[in-house]
Chain A
Amino acid sequence: MLVIRRRQGEALLLGPDIELSVLEITPSRVTIGVSAPREIVVLRREVAETREANKAASRLPNQGVLGEWAARLRNPRQHFPSDPPPPAR
């Protein structure tokens, strides 16, 4: 990763069109200004991760899989057919 030190009021350029400015620095957070063309999507990383996680979560397994996992949660020590076999002795 490229690491660059900047002070409050200084900026970085990413390519010809995108500028990141350090607007304010406090002990716990940094306020960053982003100037970019409209078509550039700017997201907080955790928002982007949540979007992807939600899309994945919207793909449901069949009812049998749901039922089996529910049973696993209710009976954590029970053995299920889809578990890997116990190691041979």
Chain B
Amino acid sequence: MPEPSIHYEFPQGLPAFERETNFRLLEPPAIHPLALLESLSTPGLRFVCIAIHWLVPSYRFELSDDEKSNLQGDQDLKCLALVTFPENGSPTANLRAPVLLNPVTRRGLQSIQTDSSYDLFHPLHPDPPKGPSCS
């Protein structure tokens, strides 16, 4: 049975992938809380993403008027970070440029935060636990 997914239109594509204007969000339980943003036009083009509140519960972003109008609204947006898995080293999430999805209008975009103090390469995992743990 195919996984349920929601299709999103990205009118501007993503930076470096400007022609990719249609994606679907796949959320297979096996990789929760990670998810996949998959191109509907280029087979095999996928991005790993994660809900930013999973990493930074207090995360805030700003949208320009153009971005709000592209999303056709700015209420109840899904706020995702794209995750990079380098060949050597630990994965990081891009908190500087969140991917925002409007589940109502099915529009999406990547919003580059200009005045943001959030990291382009935010570690996906905090430092390994130190010391004994309680159960």
Contacts and interface: CB of A to CB of B under 8 A. Distances in A.
- Centre residue among B15, B113, B120 by max chain A CB count within 10 A: B15
B61 interface: no
Nearest to A83: B128
Interface in A57-87: 57-61, 65-67, 69-70, 72-74, 76-77, 83-84
Best-surrounded residue of A58, A60, A83 (most CB of chain B within 10 A):
A58
Interface residues of A, number: 28
Is chain B's interface secondary structure helix, strand, loop, or mixed overall? loop
Interface of A: 44, 46-47, 49-61, 65-67, 69-70, 72-74, 76-77, 83-84
27 contacts: A44-B114, A46-B96, A46-B112, A47-B15, A50-B15, A50-B97, A51-B16, A53-B82, A54-B17, A54-B82, A55-B16, A57-B82, A57-B83, A57-B94, A58-B46, A58-B47, A59-B85, A60-B47, A61-B91, A66-B34, A69-B85, A70-B33, A70-B34, A74-B32, A74-B33, A76-B129, A77-B133
B99 to A, nearest CB: 10
A26 to B, nearest CB: 14
